[in-house]
Amino acid sequence: KNEVEQSPQNLTAQEGEFITINCSYSVGISALHWLQQHPGGGIVSLFMLSSGKKKHGRLIATINIQEKHSSLHITASHPRDSAVYICAVRLLSQFYFGTGTSLTVIP
C-alpha cells in the first residue's frame, strides 16, 4: 500500500503540448510537494503547497484538500521539461513519496 499514488507512470508528449500529472494521497497532510529529478539524479523542489494553486512560469500546481488530490500542469511543454516528476506529501515529520512520472517531451 502506497500512501501516494501518481499517474501516469510514463508520459511522452510532443513539444508544445499541455501536460497534466496527477497525484492522489491517502493520509492527512501538512503540505504537498512537487519535485523534479533530471537524469543524473539531482532533485529540485518545484512547488510546496497546502491549498489552492501556485504558478511558476509554465508550471502550475493545484491541490484539492477535500479530494486529497493534486495536479501538476506544464503548458507549452519543451524537451528540457523531460524529467521524472515526483509528488511527495508531508505529515508532521514524515515525508511520503510517489514513485514518480517519467516525462519525455519530443521535439
CB of 44 to other proteins, least distance (A): 7
Of the pair 40, 107, the CB lying nearest other proteins is at: 40
Of 99 and 104, which CB lies nearer to other proteins in the complex structure? Answer: 99
CB 11, min distance to other proteins, A: 16
The closest alpha carbon to 57, from 41, 71, 77, belongs to 77
The Cα–Cα gap between 38 and 17 comes to 20
Find out whether 48 and 33 touch, Cβ atoms under 8 Å: yes
| 3-class DSSP assignment, residue 96 | strand
List 42's β-bridge partners, or say none: none
In angstroms, the CA 107 to CA 104 distance is 10
Q: Could you tell me the smallest distance in angstroms from the CB atom of residue 47 to other proteins?
A: 9
Among 10, 12, 26, 94, indicate the residue that binds other proteins (CB under 8 A). Answer: 94
Segment 46-85, which members bind other proteins (CB under 8 A)?
Answer: 48-50
Q: Which residues bind other proteins (CB under 8 A)?
A: 2, 31, 33, 35, 40-45, 48-50, 86, 88, 90, 92-95, 97-100
